[in-house]
Amino acid sequence: METLGFLMQGFDVALTPLNLGLALLGAFLGTIIGALPGLGPSNGVAILIPLAFSLRLPPASALIMLTSVYYGAMYGGRISSILLNIPGDEPALMTTLDGYPMAKQGKAGEALAISALSSFVGGLIATFGLLLFAPLLAKFALFFGPAEYFVLFVLAFTTIGGISSKNQFKSLMAAAMGLMISTIGLDPATGEPRYTLNQMELFEGVNFLVAIVGLFAISEILFFLEESHAGKVTKVTVNKFKIQWKEMFKLTGTTLRSSVVGFIAGVLPGAGASLGSFMAYTIEKRLVDHEGTFGSGDPRGVAAPEAGNNAAAGGALVPMLTLGVPGSGTTAVLLAMLMSMNITPGPLLFQQHPDVVWGLIAALFIGNIMLLVLNLPLVGFFAKLLMVPSHVLMPIVAIVGLIGIYSISHSPFDLFVMIAFGVGGWLLRKLEVPLVPVILGILLGQLMEDNLRRALNISNGDWGTLWGSPLCWILWVMALGGLVMPFFIGKFFRVKIMEPEPEIPD
Amino acid sequence: MSDRIFGALMLLLAAVYSWTARGFDPGFMADPLGPQTFPYLLGAVLAITALYLLVRPDAPAHWPDLRHLLQMGLIVVVLLMYAGLLEWLGFIIATILTVTILGWRLGASLKTATFTGIGVSLAVYGLFDMLLELPLPAGLLGRL
């Protein structure tokens, strides 16, 4: 009952005209960002954070806008998966399996409508899940002391590579790099400058927004240049269609099952949206694909990964909000967004900023509905965006990224640092070193060191405190499991995910 | 091979990073962690992962050919110049120049690229400076 009252307060926050307008704007912009080739949800949200910051929106409003962007981008990404067989991000890979064949059969409109509806249901169920489980986990997390938190951060880094991680050593290496970058600047405890090279600009440390926009946006441009499919424009059309509600109702079972599977996958550490959509698809295939139509344009093959992936995205918010530990790339970017507003997620968030938490949850409900309302009639327009040529798009990405960062600090030095991060990010991506752990390291480094310091202060310098409680032990075992498991079962998952390698579209 | 070189460089970085941490002054406060312990831990993790890469590198990465590398170098230089000259040239002029060069290198004809440059510059200026009221540097045009 308590929850319900809080939720009502949340709706009070979210339903002001300003916030409703921002949600609509966010969903619209997000869908555009997602639909544009080469810009995934993480990139899109990353580029827009500096703007939300410089516009000095109140935290709840900024959150509402950016989560709508995030939801919108996830949906927009499906447009290119279905129409062009080009997944906008990793979780969208499973959608191409049945979505693209449907489009080839002239049923692109239906596929997009199914995707919108099942995403909606998945997102809705996940938001209910968040509503139920997040307060419970937040209460439980109050038992965490500094030692437990330190181990929890270790757990976050060993599992961030995910179950399908190719090379665990590379994700650990990336995490170490990110954490190292976070140590640049004045040591908060002693005031000792560390790794500042005596540059005044570095005394405050590297601004994580500068790093994120550089790593994502600038490296994307370099990648694009290298692949140099410049000047190529694809013609895209969406057929006229009417939603056949009868057909849609046939998908109810698939959508509901997949939403639950996805939500659970999202809550677990190291799983995230990719695994959510993968598991949802595989389970549905086992359960209902009696005629072997999955993979050749079965509507259920579109509904399952879409519901699973959106539910997983909602599920991933549970550990992010209650523990402050994101489990995937996009939640890491959402964490960056919260931190840029001086809000540190964790169990105390629910007590200190209830307006933010419940406003956000209410915003998720509203964003979800906005998207559905926006997308069903406008899908033809969004599909046209796939035809925006890269020589227009990529310079815009560069300029908006640079100006966004410039508007925060008005310092050309930050722009140089950002470009350096872009080049570094390109190198790392070429070497198949994942970028998300780097970002997570930059975000969490200071908190991690801080908790270690407090744990040691309490125990008078005895390092045994790090495995001094049963909870610590459980977390260590999970961390170790997350580190070792991909070596054994990762191969199996990777083969399964990569097996239906999308053929080159004709 | 790329992985081996990268691993060696990271091993070097881990060494320099940890070596630098030696010099941090723990201060007069009784702090069991001190400013150097956390960096030592990180240096150790980086060293271990770097050693692994040296011993067991992945399949070699595909590097772009020299022509593409030069192209990318040019883009990076253009972006750096944009960062450096933004305040002096002003947003509108700097953006027209940068977007034109970027668009041209990304495959548009010089004419299309110039139109894109002017269009993008004015549109972003209108959106940011006028609509969102985020002041952008006026630069040369402001001094007229």
ipTM: 0.92
Is the CB of A173 less than 8 angstroms away from the CB of B103? no
Tokens coding A96: 């191409």
User: Percentage of chain A with pLDDT > 70?
Assistant: 89
**Hey, which bits of A141-268 come out as E strands?**
185-186, 193-194
CB-nearest partner of A403 from B6, B33, B136: B136
Closest Cβ opposite residue B35 in set A192, A224, A407: A192
**Choosing among A190, A456, A462, which should be mutated to test the B contact, i.e. which has the most B CBs within 10 A?**
A190
Nearest CA of chain B to the CA of A210: how many Å?
Answer: 13
* Facing residue for B106 by CB, picked from A54, A187, A391: A391
Q: Which of A55, A218, A431 sits opposite B132 (nearest CB)?
A: A55
State the average pLDDT over residues B98-108: 88
The single-letter code of the amino acid at B71 is: Q
What pLDDT is recorded for position B99? Answer: 93
Beta carbons of A23 and A370 less than 8 angstroms apart: yes
Cα–Cα distance for residue pair A31/A382, rounded to 1 Å: 7
Nearest to A231 among B29, B39, B107 (CB): B107
Tell me which chain B residues have a C-beta less than 8 angstroms from the C-beta of A170: 49, 53, 58
Rounding to the nearest 10 degrees, give the CA dihedral for residues A139, A140, A143, A145: -100
The whole-angstrom separation of Cα A37 and Cα A79 is 10
Q: Is the pLDDT of residue A1 over 60?
A: no
Chain A 203-262, residues with CB within 8 Å of chain B CB atoms: 218, 221-222, 224-226, 228, 230-231
Residues A268 and A137: their CA atoms lie apart, in Å, by 13
Whether A25 contacts chain B with CB within 8 A: no
Closest-CA distance, B117 to chain A, in angstroms, reads: 9
Model pLDDT, residue A428:
92
Q: What is the DSSP letter of A459?
A: T
* pLDDT at A38 > cutoff 70: no
Q: Is the pLDDT of residue A503 over 50?
A: no
Instruction: Report d(CA B47, CA A308) in Å as an integer.
Output: 39
- Measured from the Cβ of residue A428, the count of other Cβ atoms closer than 10 Å reads 20
A4-28: average pLDDT: 83
User: CB-based contact (8 Å) between A187 and chain B?
Assistant: yes
With a cut of 70, say whether residue A165 has pLDDT above it: no
Q: Chain B residues with CB inside 8 Å of A186's CB?
A: none
Asked if the Cβ–Cβ distance from B24 to A187 is below 8 Å, we say yes
Q: What is the pLDDT of residue A504?
A: 36
Task: Give the whole-angstrom CA distance, residue A138 versus residue A24.
Answer: 30
CB A303 within 8 A of CB A255: yes
SS3 sequence of A145-157: CHHHHHHHHHHHH
Q: What is the pLDDT of residue A501?
A: 41
Q: Is pLDDT of B136 > 90?
A: no
pLDDT score of A488 = 72
- How much is the average pLDDT of A390-412? 86
Within B22-138, residue ranges assigned H as helices are 34-55, 66-89, 91-105, 110-125
Lowest mean pLDDT among A51-55, A314-318, B28-32: B28-32
Q: Is the pLDDT of residue A176 over 90?
A: yes
Q: A206-249, pLDDT tens digit by residue?
A: 888 899 889 988 888 888 777 755 445 556 666 666 667 777 77
User: How far apart, in whole angstroms, are the C-alpha atoms of residue A407 and residue A153?
Assistant: 32
Residues from chain B that touch A194, judged by Cβ atoms under 8 A, are: 21, 24, 35, 39
**φ, ψ at A196 (rounded to 5°):** -95, -10
The residue among A180, A172, A188, A181 whose CA lies nearest residue A211 is: A181
- A157 in contact with B at a CB cutoff of 8 Å? no
CB contact under 8 A, A190 and B128: no
Element containing residue A176 per DSSP (H, E) = helix A168-182
The nearest alpha carbon in chain B to A396 belongs to: B120
Arithmetic mean of pLDDT, A62-71:
83
Q: Is the pLDDT of residue A282 over 80?
A: yes
Instruction: Tell me the one-letter amino acid at A7.
Output: L
Average pLDDT, integer, range A381-388: 78
Of B6, B45, B86, the CB nearest to A412: B86
Specify the long-range contacts of residues A381-384, CB closer than 8 Å, at least 24 apart.
A382/A31, A382/A32, A382/A35, A382/A76, A382/A79, A383/A35, A383/A79, A383/A83, A383/A108, A383/A112, A383/A236, A383/A237, A383/A238, A384/A236
Quote the distance between the C-alpha of residue B127 and its chain's center: 25
pLDDT for A500 equals 44
Using 50, 70 and 90 to split pLDDT, how confident is the model at A425? very high
Q: State whether residue A403 sits within 8 Å of chain B by CB.
A: yes
Q: Do A194 and B24 touch (CB under 8 A)?
A: yes
Phi, psi torsion values for A327, nearest 5 degrees:
-110, 0
Q: Is A411 on the interface with B (CB under 8 A)?
A: no
Q: At what angle do helices A2-14 and A354-384 cross, to 10 degrees?
A: 50
Asked if A113 contacts A73 with a C-beta cutoff of 8 angstroms, the reply is no
User: Which residue of A198, A220, A392, A427 to mutate against B (max B Cβ within 10 Å)?
Assistant: A392
Structure tokens at A449: 């060191």
Mutual angle of helices A93-104 and A108-141, in 10-degree steps: 160
In three-state secondary structure terms, A499 is coil
Q: Does A461 touch chain B (CB under 8 A)?
A: yes
Residues with Cβ < 8 Å from A231, sequence gap 6 or more? A389, A390, A391, B107, B108
Instruction: Tell whether A464 is within 8 A of chain B (Cβ).
Output: no
DSSP A505: P
pLDDT confidence of A502, banded at 50, 70, 90?
Answer: very low
Tokens of A472: 């610590």
Residues 6+ apart with CB under 8 A from A363: A10, A14, A19, A23, A63, A64, A67, A68
Bridge partner residues of A185 (DSSP): A194
Q: Which amino acid is it at A70?
A: Y
What's the whole-number mean pLDDT along residues A455-478?
A: 89
The answer for residues whose C-beta is within 8 angstroms of residue A218's C-beta and 6 or more apart is A398, A401, A418, A419, A421, A422, A423, A425, A426, B79
Q: In the predicted model, is pLDDT for residue B105 greater than 80? A: yes
CA distance A189 to chain B (A): 8
Mean pLDDT comparison of A71-80, A287-296, B104-113, highest-scoring range: B104-113
User: Cα(A71)–Cα(A369) distance, rounded to whole angstroms?
Assistant: 11
